[in-house]
Amino acid sequence: MRVTLKAPAKINLTLDVLSKRPDGYHEIEMVMTTVDLADRISITSLESDRIIIDCPTAYVPLDERNHAFQAAKFVKEKFGISRGVHIQIEKNIPIAAGLAGGSSDAAATIKALNQLWNLKMGVKEMADLGAKVGSDVSFCIYGGTAIARGRGEQIQPIAPPPSCWVVLAKPPIGVSTADVYGALNVAQLGPCKTEDMVGAIKHKDFKEICSNLSNHLESVTLNLYPEVKRIKETMRRSGAEGVLMSGSGPTVFALTEKDSKVNRIYNGLRGFCKEVYAVRLLGENM
Ligand code: ATP
């Protein structure tokens, strides 16, 4: 038997850093939502006690460094399962991009194994297991739209924002999340926007959503990589209603409700950025 699942990317509509914790992590509060750009995870059970990752994309580790590998290992440990698993990953989400690609693969692996081995885990149980792999995995288990707190692993699902176009552009640089947090000055952060964003989403007010887009990590990454700033400016010039960097970057996204603007934003970026995607905001739990 084979279970195949989509593993969608996420974007941050807000990312507020509240404080630095004694354990070295930052206390954050953010609104995340899924977009229609997804990896595809296909899983089969093996008789032998092995975890095999099959992924032809460069820079994706095929060993225990792969987030899907770790997810399978934690599931096997939790339930004392001695069978193995073959995990095929079709990678469509850019890597190290701030779009939670690896985390989404891990979440899809947990969900697929839950089905394949009939483990009867509920969503919260899967999210708690996912948090052992990484903070964003819990959100990816829920999908849809949610407020994430703590180090990102405490999830409160909320109703989705109105659907719109999302144009994503990833410059050809890899950003280390640890480096970005390391360069962050917690004493000099702007206002927190998560509460206002949640209000805007509740009102289904696209303009209000765009005016409350905010990410405390953005200025750090923009200073480190001026090309990210250039992408933002190009998106704005092309008429995007809202523009923001996702997670620790370097992917920047533009939001627009208008079909007529999508091509203009997309084509404006294609000239100097190879990885550009025009997708729909999913927002809803799939
Ligand atoms: P996240 O929120 O999951 O950290 P991200 O978009 O910042 O998301 P990923 O695409 O997950 O970053 O990649 C971060 C690093 O994780 C990569 O450099 C890669 O070596 C490693 N990695 C492990 N598993 C995967 C996977 N399944 N897909 C992509 N990268 C993976």
pTM of the model: 0.96
Give, in order, the Cα–Cα distances in Å from 119 to each of 10, 108, 123, 142, 247.
Answer: 26, 14, 12, 17, 32
Q: Hey, which of 95, 133, 140, 181 would you mutate to test ligand 1's pocket, going by the most ligand atoms within 8 Å of its Cβ?
A: 95
Domain 2-158, what fold? Answer: Ribosomal Protein S5; domain 2 (3.30.230)
Cα 218 to middle of ligand 1, angstroms: 19
| Ligand 1 surroundings by CB, under 6 angstroms | 59-61, 65-68, 89, 95-103, 105, 134, 136, 177, 247
Of the residues 136, 170, 193, 261, only one is catalytic, namely: 136
Give, using CA atoms, the residue closest to atom 13 of ligand 1.
Answer: 96
Task: Give the burial class of 172: count Cβ atoms within 10 A of its Cβ; 0-12 exposed, 13-18 middle, 19 or more buried.
Answer: exposed
C-alpha 231, offset from chain centre: 19
Catalytic-residue membership of 136 = yes
First to last CA, the chain: 22
Domain spans, the chain:
2-158, 165-280
pLDDT in 10s for each residue of the chain, 286 residues: 899 999 999 999 999 999 999 998 899 999 999 999 999 999 999 999 999 999 999 999 999 999 999 999 999 999 999 999 999 999 999 999 999 999 999 999 999 999 999 999 999 999 999 999 999 999 999 999 999 999 999 999 999 999 999 999 999 998 888 899 999 998 889 999 999 999 999 999 999 999 999 999 999 999 989 999 999 999 999 999 999 999 999 999 999 999 999 999 999 998 888 899 999 999 777 6
Looking at 3.40.47.10, 3.30.70.890, 1.10.1670.10, 3.20.20.70, the CATH number of the domain 165-280 comes to 3.30.70.890
pLDDT at 286: 62
Cα 185 to middle of ligand 1, angstroms: 25
pLDDT at 270: 87
Longest dimension (CA), the chain: 56
